[in-house]
Each structure stands twice: as C-alpha cells, then as structure tokens.
C-alpha cells in the first residue's frame, strides 16, 4: 500500500518519473523504488531484469561461499557442470517414465559408488540418491528399524515393551538425533574419552547393545574434528557379540564426508562393505563428491537389508521401479551433476583433486602450528579437516570466538565452537579444506589470521562475554555440523 502510494505521489509530483521504458536504468525505475515484500506478496508485478537486480542485491548480504571455510559442502563447480545442472533443472527425478535417462544415470552412479565401497559381487546391492546425507541416514536408520522389528517379532521379543535403540558416539551429527526423535528411537550415546582422538569407544558401544538395538552407527569423519571411528575393530567386536546375541546388530556407516574421499585417497583403509556387519552406508554427494548442495547417496549391501515395505513402485519404461526416498519430487540436476563429475574426473581426477586438497590442509596445519599459540587437534592427514585450539596457559585476553569475529573483517568465515560431551569446556576452530581452496587462498588466510591475532593482542575491548547460553556454554559462531 505504502509503496504504491509513494509511487502514485511521485507520478503526480513535478519530478515525475516517466513510465518506464527499456531505456530507464534499473535503479532509476519506479519499480526499484520500493522495499521488497516481507510479509505479503506485492500486488504489482515488476520487470524481470529489475526483479533480478533487486534479488541479486539481496544475495550480497549472504556470506561469499568461497570465503566459507567451515562448510563441508561444495562451493565451486566448473562452468560445464553448471551448464549440465541448468540444462536439467526442469527434470523431476521421481518421474521415472518421463525422464528415464535421469533414472539410468542415477543407477550408473549407484553402480559406480557400489564398486568404490566394495559391495560384494555375490550379493545384490541396492541404492538411491537422496537430498543429502541427512535423508540418506534417515533411510539407513529406517531400514534398520524395520528389519529389527521383523526379526524381533519372529523371535518372540515383545517389540512394544520398550523403544528400540540406536548406538552412536557422542560426536554424532545432528541428523541422528533427528532420526531418533522422528522415528521414536532411544538414542544411546557412547561418550568419547580422548580429546586428541575423538572416536567411538568400541567396548562401551558393544556394552550398550541389547535385543532392542536396531544398529550401531560409526562415523567416517566426525563433524567436530574429522576423526574416523575404528570400524574394523567395531566389526570384529560385533561379530563376537552377534555369535551369542538373541538378535544380531548391524552397522550403518555414516560416511557423509569420508565416503567419496577415502576410496580415492586411501583405498586400503577398510571401513566399507568389505566388513561383513556393515549393511548400509550413506554419504553426501555435495561434500567430497564435489557437487553443489542437494545430493546424497545411501546403499545397502544386499536387498535383504532394505525391508520391502519401505519401497514403493513407480512406473518406469513400461514396468515398475522401486523407489525408497522420503521426499517425492525434486530436480534431477544434482544427479546429472554427480554423474558429470564421475565422467569428467574419473578415478584419477578425483584422486588428484582430493590429494591436492589434502596438501593444502597439511600446509594450513603446518602454518597454524608455526604461529606458536595453537594445538592442532586434527592435522588433515586422514581427511582435509583441520582443527585447532588455543594452547593452555597463554594468558590471552581474547579467545577463539573473538578471533572468529575478527576474521570476518576480512570476509573469512571460520567458526569457533565447543567440543561434544566430556569436553564441552574446550573450544576449537575448524576449517574444512575443499577443492576450491588453493594454496594461494590459504596463504592469504594465514596472513589475515596473523593480522587478526596481532590486532586482538593490541586491542583493549574484547567482546563476547555475553555470548553464552543459559548454562554458561559458549554459543558457536557459525555452522558447526
């Protein structure tokens, strides 16, 4: 209302804006002279080029993804990859009959990933793309729940007496908490005991198993520090446990970050379907799969592990195709982009990109160490995630939260956040090194970091005292999961 009033007053005023023509500059147009709608749709339309300009100006207020050093998620793709995505934006991945080639390409990706994860040739793997690891984890968890219930009922266990439970280390990503809440599962957290090697205590995990356990979820790359759970040890311990257990306990590996990194860089590390208790694995295509956000993958080693009642049939090439996803319609473009990457890079290309990313991570941890005030919690040899804390006893007037703030002056987004249970009084900073962070960019970052430290050392005012929650715990300064 207000805007149209101003506009109509302007029309009557002496300094009338002429009706817009193609010669009117965007910022001289009547349409640009408005505040964009916050709560209600505008009555009037506006020209596409003006709308585009105003909307892209809104985007400026987001951080620049390339400066975002805390996300695991891909922030750069080649122009050709973007073209592939733009070309396929209008396809709907669920319309298998209308877009059979999208379905075919999705299947090819599943096949490719099944080989990278060593799905045994004498079993019939199944898999699907998802929106991300979160949906993939949910599907893995649901399959374990349904399979547990069926087996438990067959064994005469009263499945209504107690909630089924899931075992995960306290370094879990928030999706597992969501899964347990949404599907009414008791979450059993295994506390971690070594700050310098945050990983699941295998014995403690097995001790928590009982006949209501649907599965154990080890993580290949815990979000806090990037450490890996020891899945070989877990598999061995479960094999023993399962020998006498009333109901066997399977493993779902949450390989959101490691799943499309390790097969290329460290193929000898055993964590996948080579271990027989590993029944399903999930990963994010948009992390080290190098695709823009919006894609994940989940695979089961055999269809036995994906209960039939979770699959639905949709028409596909004159027959029916099973689907098992939580959402229905979504663009096929991320699937095509994943396939583009597989075709474009091949095994050697992925290996080269990831190894170079690792080199940048190692350069970063070396440079951080040289500053003399940080302890490095993860160097990035396993996966290019670098974490550090301030050395004890430094007697600085500032902390990592102040440093995170200061780095924003130069555009860098690097969060500070507390470690999980048992170590919540320790705060760390983390950089997830990605393919688009060159050695040059990281050396600029180190320069800015040194400058920030110097500035904080000299400053009188240090902020943040109030930046704690009601329990006095620090509030993270950015994305931590």
Where do contacts with ligand PLP occur on this chain (CB under 6 A)? Answer: 72, 132-134, 137, 173, 175, 219, 221, 223, 254, 256-257, 284, 296
Report the distance separating Cα 87 and Cα 90, nearest Å.
8
Q: Which is nearer to ligand PLP, 140 or 453 (CB)?
A: 140
Q: Nearest distance from residue 29's CB to ligand PLP, in Å?
A: 40
Q: Which is nearer to ligand PLP, 223 or 225 (CB)?
A: 223
Q: Nearest distance from residue 344's CB to ligand PLP, in Å?
A: 21
Q: Which is nearer to ligand PLP, 368 or 432 (CB)?
A: 432
Q: Nearest distance from residue 114's CB to ligand PLP, in Å?
A: 19
In the chain, the N- to C-terminal Cα span, in Å, equals 42
Q: Which is nearer to ligand PLP, 221 or 332 (CB)?
A: 221
Q: Nearest to residue 94, comparing CAs of 337, 343, 335?
A: 335
Q: Nearest to residue 147, comparing CAs of 281, 255, 302?
A: 302
Beta strands (DSSP E) in 17-161 are 126-130
Bridge partners, residue 219, by sequence: 254
Q: Nearest distance from residue 255's CB to ligand PLP, in Å?
A: 8
Q: Which is nearer to ligand PLP, 219 or 231 (CB)?
A: 219
Q: Nearest distance from residue 214's CB to ligand PLP, in Å?
A: 18
Bridge partners, residue 165, by sequence: 186, 213
CA angle 392, 397, 400 (to 5 degrees): 65
Q: Which is nearer to ligand PLP, 256 or 335 (CB)?
A: 256
Q: Which is nearer to ligand PLP, 50 or 93 (CB)?
A: 93
Q: Nearest distance from residue 320's CB to ligand PLP, in Å?
A: 29
Q: For 137-157, give one letter per residue: b (16+ CB within 10 A) or e.
A: bbbbbbbbbbbbbebbeeeeb
Say which residues have a Cβ less than 8 Å from residue 47's Cβ, sequence separation at least 6. 20, 29, 31
Q: Which is nearer to ligand PLP, 105 or 219 (CB)?
A: 219
Q: Nearest distance from residue 158's CB to ligand PLP, in Å?
A: 32
Q: Nearest distance from residue 72's CB to ligand PLP, in Å?
A: 5
Q: Nearest to residue 273, comparing CAs of 146, 145, 122?
A: 122
Report the distance separating Cα 387 and Cα 193, nearest Å.
18
Q: For 383-400, give one letter per residue: b (16+ CB within 10 A) or e.
A: bbbbbbbbeeeeebebbb
Q: Which is nearer to ligand PLP, 213 or 225 (CB)?
A: 225
Q: Which is nearer to ligand PLP, 284 or 325 (CB)?
A: 284
Q: Nearest distance from residue 137's CB to ligand PLP, in Å?
A: 6
Q: How far is CA 72 from CA 201, 224, 436, in A?
A: 25, 11, 12
Report the distance separating Cα 91 and Cα 76, nearest Å.
22
Q: Nearest distance from residue 447's CB to ligand PLP, in Å?
A: 29
On whether the CB atoms of residues 205 and 190 are closer than 8 A, the answer is yes
**DSSP letters spanning 34-57:** SPPPSSS--SS---HHHHHHHHHH
Say which residues have a Cβ less than 8 Å from residue 234's Cβ, sequence separation at least 6. 200, 202, 205, 216, 218, 251, 277
Q: How many CA atoms lie within 13 A of 46 on its CB side?
A: 21
Beta strands (DSSP E) in 30-169 are 126-130, 165-169
Q: Nearest distance from residue 434's CB to ligand PLP, in Å?
A: 13
Q: Nearest distance from residue 135's CB to ligand PLP, in Å?
A: 7
Q: Which is nearer to ligand PLP, 234 or 452 (CB)?
A: 234
Say which residues have a Cβ less than 8 Å from residue 129's Cβ, sequence separation at least 6. 93, 106, 109, 110, 285, 295, 296, 297, 334, 335, 338
CA angle 115, 118, 121 (to 5 degrees): 85
């Amino acid at each position: 209302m207000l805007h149209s009033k101003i506009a109509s007053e302007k029309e009557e005023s002496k300094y009338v804006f002429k009706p817009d023509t193609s010669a009117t500059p965007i910022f001289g147009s009547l349409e640009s002279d408005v505040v964009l709608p916050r709560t209600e749709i505008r009555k009037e339309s506006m020209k596409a080029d003006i709308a585009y300009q105003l909307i892209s100006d809104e985007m400026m207020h987001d951080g620049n993804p390339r400066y975002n050093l805390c996300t695991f998620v891909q922030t750069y793709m080649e122009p050709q990859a973007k073209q592939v995505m733009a070309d396929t934006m209008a396809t709907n991945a669920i319309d298998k009959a209308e877009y059979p080639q999208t379905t075919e390409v999705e299947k090819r990706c599943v096949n490719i990933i099944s080989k990278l994860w060593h799905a045994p040739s004498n079993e019939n793997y199944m898999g699907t793309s998802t929106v991300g690891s979160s949906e993939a984890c949910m599907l893995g968890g649901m399959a374990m729940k349904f399979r547990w219930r069926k087996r438990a009922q067959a064994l005469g266990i009263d499945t209504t007496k107690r909630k089924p439970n899931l075992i995960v280390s306290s370094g879990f990503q928030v999706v597992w908490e969501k899964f347990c809440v949404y599907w009414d599962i008791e979450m059993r957290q295994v506390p971690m005991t070594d700050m310098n090697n945050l990983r699941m205590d295998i014995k403690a995990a097995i001790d928590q198993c009982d006949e209501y356990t649907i599965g154990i979820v080890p993580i290949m790359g815990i979000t806090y520090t990037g450490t890996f759970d020891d899945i070989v040890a877990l598999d061995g311990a479960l094999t023993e446990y399962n020998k006498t257990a009333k109901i066997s306990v399977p493993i779902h590996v949450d390989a959101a970050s490691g799943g499309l990194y390790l097969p290329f860089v460290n193929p000898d590390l055993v964590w996948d379907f080579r271990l027989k208790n590993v029944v399903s694995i999930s990963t994010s295509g948009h992390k080290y799969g190098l695709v823009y956000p919006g894609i994940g993958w989940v695979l089961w080693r055999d269809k036995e592990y994906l209960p039939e009642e979770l699959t639905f049939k949709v028409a596909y090439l004159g027959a029916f195709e099973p689907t098992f996803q939580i959402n229905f319609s979504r663009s096929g473009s991320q699937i095509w982009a994943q396939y583009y990457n597989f075709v474009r890079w091949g095994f050697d290309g992925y290996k080269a990109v990831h190894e170079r990313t690792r080199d940048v991570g190692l350069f970063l941890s070396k440079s951080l160490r040289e500053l003399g005030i940080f302890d490095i919690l993860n160097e990035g040899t396993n996966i290019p995630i670098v974490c550090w804390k301030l050395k004890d006893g430094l007697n600085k007037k500032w902390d990592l939260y102040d440093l995170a703030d200061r780095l924003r002056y130069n555009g860098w987004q690097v969060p500070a956040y507390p470690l999980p249970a048992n170590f919540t009084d320790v705060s760390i900073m983390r950089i997830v090194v990605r393919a688009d962070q060159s050695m040059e960019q990281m050396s600029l970052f180190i320069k800015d970091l040194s400058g920030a430290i110097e500035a904080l050392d000299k400053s009188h005012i240090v902020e943040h005292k109030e930046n704690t929650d009601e329990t006095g715990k620090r509030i993270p300064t950015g994305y931590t999961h």
